[in-house]
Structure 1
Amino acid sequence: MNTDVILTCAVTGAGDTRAKNPKVPVTPAEIAAACLDAARAGASIAHVHVRDPETGAHSHKAEYFREIADRVRDAETDIVLNFTAGGGGDLFPELTGTEGEDRQIRAAAGSDLQSPSERHAPIAEMLPEICTLDCGSLNFGDMVYLNSADWLREHATLVQAAGVKPELECFDLGHVWFARQLIDEGLIDGDPLFQLCLGIPWGAEADPQTMLAMRDKLPANAHWAAFGIGRMQMPMVAQAMIAGGHCRVGLEDNLYLSKGVKADNAGLVDKARGLIEALGGSVMNPQATRDHLALRGATTGSAA
């Protein structure tokens, strides 16, 4: 069991969830405030997506990331920033024509595709301490999340050159396999950081057997965390800690504090921290997290 836990709060995601819970932050000011609220509740890391302030839809604009980074870095409250670099992979494939005719496949409305360099642009400008690197393609609900092997190699090279720690997000067992390949090819520096993403249809299920199967395929020197979505968020906090990993909560993954009770990010962090402490552990503060993961702002210069 891991008793020194890094607790990430994923404060807002890419989905259009504001209509389901008005506490989901949308504007850069709201997202920055949510990061700081999560930090005051005990979070070690804030995982950040950005949204269009007018529509609430997902966005990739560097100016929104910049405002969030500036607001958080200028605050007295400390937290490690982990920016998403996984946007721009949404494909809704559509067949044109009718049966019996020459049919073609095209990207239907709602598709959002970016090159690795476009995905990386906000990271290169803001240089957060951590950014995500999603490690494969996936049937993600009703769409395909597109992330080819060559794109991932190119993206990993850009992250490595920027000196940012990649969080290797794995939504299925094959993603762990490919992440190990990136490590073997020398594209991931230092001890790798994995995030096991559980419960997203149609990837890895949010249950102990699946988490342990993925954990057991990680390199011996890996740092790892896991999360579950929806009602499985808190059970996966406990399971990850017991299995030796770190934890993640937040409104990106779950909108409710309990059945019928809408959450905010600080409330989810506080509940997870209470669970971790009830199991005999404690949550690392941001500076201890930097030191443990050997991030750019570490004081020790090496992983604990």
Structure 2
Amino acid sequence: MRKRPFIMVAPNGARRGKADHPALPLTIPEIVTCARDCHAAGAGALHLHVRDGQGQHSLDPGLYAEALADLAETVPDLPVQITTEAAGIYDVAAQYDCLTTLRPAWASIAVRETARDPDLAPKLYAACAEQGTRVQHILYDADDIALLADWQARSIVQPGQDAVLFVLGRYATGQVSAPADLAPFRAALPDVTDWMVCAFGPAEHACLLAAANAGGACRVGFENSLTRGDGTPHANNAASVSDLMRQLEKAVQ
């Protein structure tokens, strides 16, 4: 590894709550504090999920706007990527409305979710291009990669919308990933240059080290894993970022 890779932190996700880990941030003040601490620990960007008053996953543009404003005030140097994850709650129209109402600088979009509405998919990507929203495609397997390639060939996905996130372990038994899980993604997209990896389960950091060694960026945090490789829980998201940073620094030396 020649240099430290880019690190994004994903501190909460759409499904976990305080019962999973008491330090998992749910409210906007908690998310802002977590973002500040993770940035200080070495995170270069934040993957943002917001929750409603009941702690449930939300794509409410108003909640997003509030969170983005508070984050910009507290950690102005930390780029923020919003999620458009459906989480079994939202259809593509709701995802499209979130993107076009909020007009965020950066958003993640799962191609398999957008494919639920083939007629709206071209409009969604065109809207992102028109309003300057940077897109990162969420890819879970080779079928998702094939779908993305088809959409690129048919100009559904716009020029410049090339960034991808490889998700390791999301649909594996027990949602447990391994470094070897990266190989099929890299084989299917050998020429991609803007790529990132996240990984589920206790081998999260091992997978991210493998990605960094191959030239990829890393997404770390409680959305994907709560523990070290030995199963010991991280104290919080910043501790996970710090632990990954230490491992990366050793790899760079």
TM-score by shorter chain over 0.5 = yes
Counterpart of 1:156?
125
CA distance in 2 between partners of 1:23 and 1:227 (Å): 20
CA distance in 2 between partners of 1:40 and 1:250 (Å): 15
CA distance in 2 between partners of 1:149 and 1:278 (Å): 46
Q: Does 1:170 align with 2:139?
A: yes
Q: How far off is 1:84 after superposition?
A: 0.2
**Structure 1 gap ranges (5+):** 91-111, 138-145, 282-304
Counterpart of 2:36?
36
C-alpha root-mean-square deviation of aligned residues, in Å? 2.4
Q: How far off is 1:162 after superposition?
A: 2.2
CA contact (8 A) 2:83 2:108 kept: yes
CA distance in 2 between partners of 1:37 and 1:121 (Å): 31
Q: Deviations over 1:244-278 (max 9, x none)?
A: 21111011111224524343111111111111111
Q: Does 1:135 align with 2:137?
A: no
CA distance in 2 between partners of 1:190 and 1:4 (Å): 25
CA distance in 2 between partners of 1:2 and 1:131 (Å): 28
CA distance in 2 between partners of 1:179 and 1:229 (Å): 23
Any residues of structure 2 matched to 1:82-93 within 5 Å, and which? 82-87=81-86, 90=88
Counterpart of 1:113?
90
Higher strand share: 1
Any residues of structure 2 matched to 1:18-37 within 5 Å, and which? 18-37=18-37
**Structure 1 residues 29, 8: CA separation in 2 closer, same or farther (over 3 Å shift)?**
same
Any residues of structure 2 matched to 1:34-73 within 5 Å, and which? 34-53=34-53, 55-73=54-72
* Bigger Rg, which one: 1
Letter in 2 for 1:113: Y
Determine which of 204, 209, 217 is the counterpart of 2:180: 209
Q: Does 1:234 align with 2:210?
A: no
CA contact (8 A) 1:117 1:158 kept: no
- The normalised TM-score by structure 1 is 0.74
Q: Deviations over 1:56-82 (max 9, x none)?
A: 221222221111100111225511101
Q: How far off is 1:183 after superposition?
A: 2.3
CA contact (8 A) 1:198 1:206 kept: yes
CA distance in 1 between partners of 2:61 and 2:117 (Å): 25
**Structure 1 residues 198, 217: CA separation in 2 closer, same or farther (over 3 Å shift)?**
same
**Structure 2 gap ranges (5+):** none
CA distance in 2 between partners of 1:113 and 1:221 (Å): 29
Q: How far off is 1:175 after superposition?
A: 0.7
Letter in 1 for 2:90: L
CA distance in 2 between partners of 1:72 and 1:198 (Å): 28
State the percentage of identical aligned residues.
21
Q: How far off is 1:219 after superposition?
A: 5.8
Q: Does 1:193 align with 2:163?
A: yes
Counterpart of 1:96?
none
Q: How far off is 1:127 after superposition?
A: 3.3
